Every structure is written in structure tokens, then in C-alpha cells.
Structure 1
């Protein structure tokens, strides 16, 4: 296989959190010689507090769809001088998988990814952590803001209360229920047999909202024998992998994986 020449990385943010959470990852990979980007979703520009202050009546954000977010990242990538390496977390991991399926990546990492259509998330912890974001029986023109209690369970389980609070204030932002529901529609459909760019799945052993078992089923659905599809689990990582103190361990593994392609 031809070595990956791209020196550009695009980070794809997941639901519920600001794109500014990638800053330390950007510094890490820029220190390795990469040019990095972490674009905000449509209508999510600004600090976490600035976006939160518009909740719950931020109708433009509430009307954002998953298809719109995927197209937003695709349009951004098409402005770049080369195909980037794409690294996406959570719903951003699913978006990354969809971008890979469009042939837009030189290589990609699905970091604790929301599963595509057809990979059934039957784990209780996933349902407990995520069902509120769908906003069933509530107005889809109002955004959803994850409560601190849900944040503790879904993202920062195992961390100190002080660190959980700090992470919540720095990262949480309102979410479009339409975007969350998009993962249950044909927008999230992938042809798993299609040839694709090298793709690494990374799971966290202490992730409640997207357990390692669910990530493993996602990984195992890819069947094209001519394409690189790899798997790595970090037993100590919860879902807040992007902001964990040990983030360099995860980022370093990804860097080494890229170098070996």
C-alpha cells in the first residue's frame, strides 16, 4: 500500500460539545508537522458559554441536520489542497465514516464512534446516556442541552467532581435534536463492503455512552479485504477521551498508526 503523504488533519467534533475541545490535539499534531483544522458545526461558532447562552431558542442551530453537518465538513475538505487525515469523535466519528465512504479522506480515525445505520446499539448504558438527546415528544425547534448529571454518566464517569464540573463548563453546548435523530436514518447508511481509505477504530473501555462492544461491532461490519481497517481499545478511557489528562497516549497511538501506513 502507498504510504500516506497527507500532512493535513481535519478534526470532526461530536454532538453536545464545542469544537474548541480539540485545541490540545491540534497542538500535539502540529508539533509533529501537520496542519490541523477543527471546524465548528453550522451555528456552533463561539465559546461554549456563548453558544449555551442562546439555548433553548436557538432555532437556526435546532434546525441543523446530520446530512447538513456531513455536507458542511465535505465542503470544507474540498477547499483543502490535499485529502486530509480525518479524526472524528462520537457523532463526529460517524460523520468521519460517512466522509470516508465519500472518498474524501487519505486516512481516518473513528474515535468512540456513533454507529451507522444497521449496527444496533442495544447496550443499556448507551440508551441511558443518549435517549434524551433525541427529544422524543418535544419541539424539534428547541435545542437540547445535556444536564450535568447526564454529562457525569455519559462523558466523565470516573473523574473527580471538580474535573467533571470544569469539563462541563468548558465544553458542553446545546445540540440539535434533528442532528441526533439523523443517526437513526438513511443519512447514516454506509456500504461496508466498499473499498475505503485506511480506517482506525478507537474505543474506550470505560465509555458508557458508546461502549467498546458497540464500537467493536461497528469495526467488524467492514468487510473489504483490500482496505485497511484496524482496531484499538484503551481500557481506562471514558467518553471524554478528547479532554482526558492522558490524551497524548491516545493521540500518540493514532500518530504512530498513521506513520505505519
Structure 2
């Protein structure tokens, strides 16, 4: 039995992990999917009180989830999607987590590729400097481009209605400026050879975190002797953890955990 903490990224409610929780629990694991600081229990409540999340950045998020893991009191596998994947890498590098999976992760410091699709996906937030101190939601059309581009229009719209929430802009600004900030909170100890195993994934159709970006993150770990694997999801976009193909992603993670002896 393994303790697992699931961490979502921007614009998706923590409640969207429920199918993963049920699936992993059926395999004998103990699984939780905590909310971000300021995020409320339901999608509706979070949408109504968006300001509660405003101002939280990468360091605050990392400390929040680190505290949760320390409270578990057992070796824990952290599985994060998008910005959750960035946080998972930080927790692993700090030895807070025993192993980590970064599913199409937001770029850590040192990732240099900046594809046009990634810029366009981030523009709804980065386009206004004032959004750094705000919590911002995506419109249906913005969600379609950033998350649902590999899906039918109907499925993309359904996911937006069901799971989309406002999220703090600060982490996005911090990641965007990471390569120009010596003490960026997006920095990860990629040379740590004493950490546990890490799996990074990328989707060939992802606009928000293009495959090139995910592969660049993987390359940053080349100086570490610790296990750092990569898996490519063909034809999958940024919605891969919540759309009709989520189970394939979850089973890929489970297989990797078993292969690396962390299950």
C-alpha cells in the first residue's frame, strides 16, 4: 500500500481527481487530492469566491503541500499535473516526497523552449500584469485552446463547465520570469542524485505545456544519477488527466510505479 498525494494545476478543481482516487484506491493505495490554498470544497464555491486564491505563488503552494505530506508521516508518492507537476518536482528535489510523477508539468527554471502555443495559452493571464495579484478564470474559448484542443468541442465544453475554476496568476508570472530571476521559486534541484524516482510526461497535442517544453525539463536532470524517466502521450492535450482518456494516463502512472518499486 502506497500513500499518494495528487496535485492539480491551474484552472482545474481538486475535485476533478476523484476518478483517480477511486481507481488508485481499488489497487490498494491510500490517495488524497488536497485543495490549493484558498480553494474551496466545490467548483461552484471556488468560482464564487475567486479572490480567496489570489496572491498564492509557487513557494506558498510548495509549503502547503509539503506540510500535508509531512502530516502523513510515511513515504509518499506525489503526482502532479501542470503546475502540480512543477510542485511535485520541487517536493521530490527537497526529499519531501519519496517519488514523483510530473504530468505535462509547467516549466521549471532552466527550461528554455517557449513555443507559440504555450505563449498563447498563458496570455489570458500574462497579458495583464495586474493578474499577478488576482485569481483568473479561463473563458470557454480559452479553455478550448489551452486544454481541450485535442477533444471534440462538446467534450471540451463539458469539462470546462464541470471542472474549470479561477486560479492565482502569481505562479504563472513566476514561471514566466524564472530564467531571469536567480532566486526564482520555480527552481528545482535537478542535480540531486539522492532523490527518489521521477517520471515526466508530455503530450504531442498539448498547447499549454507543449511536448518540447516537457522534454526540455527532462533533459535538465541529465546530471543526476537518480532515476528520471519520460513518457510521451501521443495525440493527448493538456486535459489528459480529466478527459475520456484519463484512465490510460492513470494506468501508465501505476505501471511506472510498479516498475520503479514505489507501489
Question: Is the shorter-chain TM-score for this pair beyond 0.5, marking a shared fold?
Answer: yes
Residue 48 in 1 paired to residue 43 in 2?
yes
Aligned to 2:145: 153
Residue 7 in 1 paired to residue 2 in 2?
yes
Could you tell me how far apart the structure 2 residues matched to 1:246 and 1:137 are? 35
- Map of 1:178-217 to 2, 5 A cutoff? 178-183=170-175, 184-185=177-178, 186-195=184-193, 196-217=195-216
- Map of 1:42-191 to 2, 5 A cutoff? 42-55=37-50, 58=51, 60-134=52-126, 136-138=128-130, 140-183=132-175, 184-185=177-178, 186-191=184-189
The CA deviation at 1:84 is: 0.6
The CA deviation at 1:179 is: 2.6
Contact 2:148 2:156 in 1 (8 A): yes
The CA deviation at 1:226 is: 2.5
The CA deviation at 1:135 is: 5.1
Corresponding residue pairs, total: 253
The CA deviation at 1:141 is: 4.1
Contact 1:19 1:38 in 2 (8 A): yes
Aligned to 2:181: none
Gaps of 5+ in 1: 1-5
The CA deviation at 1:140 is: 4.1
Task: Describe the SS at the equivalent of 1:187.
Answer: coil
Aligned to 1:260: 259
Change (3 A) 1:135 1:69: farther
Could you tell me how far apart the structure 1 residues matched to 2:7 and 2:91 are? 10
Q: Out of 73-82 and 128-137, give the one that drifted further.
A: 128-137
Q: Out of 167-176 and 157-166, give the one that drifted further.
A: 157-166
**1:116-144 per-position Cα deviation (integer Å, ceiling 9, x unaligned):** 11212410000011122235332544321
Aligned to 1:231: 230
**1:206-230 per-position Cα deviation (integer Å, ceiling 9, x unaligned):** 1111011110010011024521000
Q: Out of 88-97 and 236-245, give the one that drifted further.
A: 236-245
Residue 246 in 1 paired to residue 245 in 2?
yes
Aligned to 2:15: 20
Of structures 1 and 2, the one with the larger relative CO (CA 8 A, separation 6+) is 1
Runs ≥4 in structure 1, deviation > 6 angstroms? none
Gaps of 5+ in 2: 179-183
Could you tell me how far apart the structure 2 residues matched to 1:188 and 1:231 are? 20
RMSD of aligned alpha carbons: 1.5
Task: Describe the SS at the equivalent of 1:250.
Answer: helix
Could you tell me how far apart the structure 1 residues matched to 2:167 and 2:127 are? 10
Task: Describe the SS at the equivalent of 1:243.
Answer: coil
Contact 1:49 1:169 in 2 (8 A): no
TM-score, normalised by the number of residues in structure 1: 0.92
Could you tell me how far apart the structure 2 residues matched to 1:84 and 1:93 are? 15
**1:52-91 per-position Cα deviation (integer Å, ceiling 9, x unaligned):** 1224xx1x32121221111000000000121211100001
TM-score, normalised by the number of residues in structure 2: 0.92
Task: Describe the SS at the equivalent of 2:137.
Answer: coil
